[in-house]
Chain A
Amino acid sequence: MFKWIHRFGSAPFVYRLAGALSPWVGMACLILLCAGIYIGLVVAPSDYEQGESYRIIYVHVPAAILSMFVYVVMAIASAIFLIWRLKLADVVAQASAPIGASFTFLALVTGSLWGKPMWGTWWIWDGRLTSELLLLFLYFGYMALRAAIEQPQSAARAAAVLAVVGVINIPIIHYSVEWWSTLHQPATISKMGESSMHPSMKRPLFMMIFGFQLLYAYVLLIRMRTGILQREARTSWVAQLPEVARD
């Protein structure tokens, strides 16, 4: 059992596993995203209140959910790195940051494009929008901190502390629409069992959320391989890799 866990701490094993997994994850992601966006844009009916504009939900909600999910992954990996000094946990956190930042950016931009026609404004400083913008700055801060500190070990530790501390923003984003009066409406799909979305509209939404999750996994696997290569460049197992040894 412990031996099995131990293998996931071994860089060569994870490097090869990520390489073997990534094409399959990428394929599944592509299929799911294509099917989801087709059903969402063409098959799903229009909304009784918002007409066709509600279709932005099929990119806005997956991006917003993933922006928080990726941060939680980053914070957990950072905590593991701080406590156990596991190098691979740092690889995961570092690889996640730019992906999470891009999802946060997407959530903000698509939300703005949805807010203008429905609410009547591109932006408002309410609890939900402000905390999501703070999330974007947390990602930027994490990446800037890593880039600013020259010594890699101290850079990793400082960034990990920031990631762990910043996780407090995640429940704030999630509950902002319940704690305070906001312009943003409460969550549609967090209410399990209770259907606040018609099944014909919910199905493609779940496909898109899962597709975004697979895209995160796919890009994470590639970035993790890059991170491992950079950290282990001088080791003999890297030198013996067929893709490195080849002329």
Chain B
Amino acid sequence: MTELANFFHMGGYAWYVWPSMAITFVVLLANVWFSKRQFKSVLRETATRSKALAQKHAQRRSNKTTEQSS
């Protein structure tokens, strides 16, 4: 117990050591989290746009075939 308390006490420098560790943890995690989130949102956007594009192409193609048949 005292050993654990000693560890967290950091020889009296707890108020400097632990915030350093905490902010490092937060910044590293934020790097990973934000980059992943951005990737996912761009992927979703790309999928929606390419599907819309494919639909437009398909419609144009079907329009053309109806024009030719009439």
Q: Mark A residues whose CB is within 8 Å of B.
A: 26, 33, 37, 41-42, 46, 51-53, 55-56, 59-60, 63, 98-99, 102, 105-106, 109-110, 113-114, 116-117, 215, 218-219, 222-223, 225-226, 229-230, 233-234, 238-239, 243-246
Find chain A residues with CB under 8 A from B7 CB: 41-42
The reply to whether B39 and A243 form a contact with Cβ atoms under 8 Å apart is no
The reply to whether B20 and A110 form a contact with Cβ atoms under 8 Å apart is yes
**Which residue of the partner chain, among B13, B19, B43, contacts A51 with CB atoms under 8 Å?**
B13
Known A53-B13, A56-B20; contact A243-B35, beta-carbon cutoff 8 A: no
Interface residues on B, range: 20 to 34
Q: Does B23 contact A (CB under 8 A)?
A: yes
Complex-state Cα separation, A117 to B45, whole angstroms? 49
**Which residue of the partner chain, among A55, A56, A244, contacts B50 with CB atoms under 8 Å?**
A244
Complex-state Cα separation, A92 to B48, whole angstroms? 26
Q: Does B38 contact A (CB under 8 A)?
A: yes
**Which residue of the partner chain, among B13, B24, B27, B39, contacts A226 with CB atoms under 8 Å?**
B39
Find chain A residues with CB under 8 A from B42 CB: 226, 229-230
Q: How many A-B residue pairs have CB under 8 A?
A: 95
Find chain B residues with CB under 8 A from A226 CB: 35, 38-39, 42
The reply to whether A52 and B10 form a contact with Cβ atoms under 8 Å apart is yes
Task: Give min CB distance, B27 to chain A, whole Å.
Answer: 5
Q: Mark B residues whose CB is within 8 Å of A.
A: 7, 10-13, 16-17, 19-21, 23-24, 27-28, 30-32, 35-36, 38-39, 42-43, 45-47, 49-50, 53-54
Complex-state Cα separation, A215 to B30, whole angstroms? 12
Complex-state Cα separation, A244 to B43, whole angstroms? 7
| B contact face: mostly helix, strand, loop, or mixed | helix
The reply to whether B47 and A215 form a contact with Cβ atoms under 8 Å apart is no
Find chain B residues with CB under 8 A from A243 CB: 43, 47
Task: Give min CB distance, A105 to chain B, whole Å.
Answer: 7
Complex-state Cα separation, A26 to B29, whole angstroms? 12
Known A46-B11, A60-B20, A226-B38; contact A219-B46, beta-carbon cutoff 8 A: no
Name 16 A/B residue pairs within 8 A (Cβ), A-sorted: A46-B11, A51-B12, A52-B10, A52-B12, A52-B13, A53-B16, A59-B21, A105-B27, A116-B16, A117-B13, A215-B28, A219-B32, A222-B36, A222-B39, A239-B50, A244-B47
Closest to B34 in A: A98
Find chain B residues with CB under 8 A from A246 CB: 47
Complex-state Cα separation, A102 to B32, whole angstroms? 12
Closest to B31 in A: A219
Task: Give min CB distance, B49 to chain A, whole Å.
Answer: 6
Closest to A227 in B: B42
The reply to whether A219 and B35 form a contact with Cβ atoms under 8 Å apart is yes
Complex-state Cα separation, A55 to B16, whole angstroms? 10
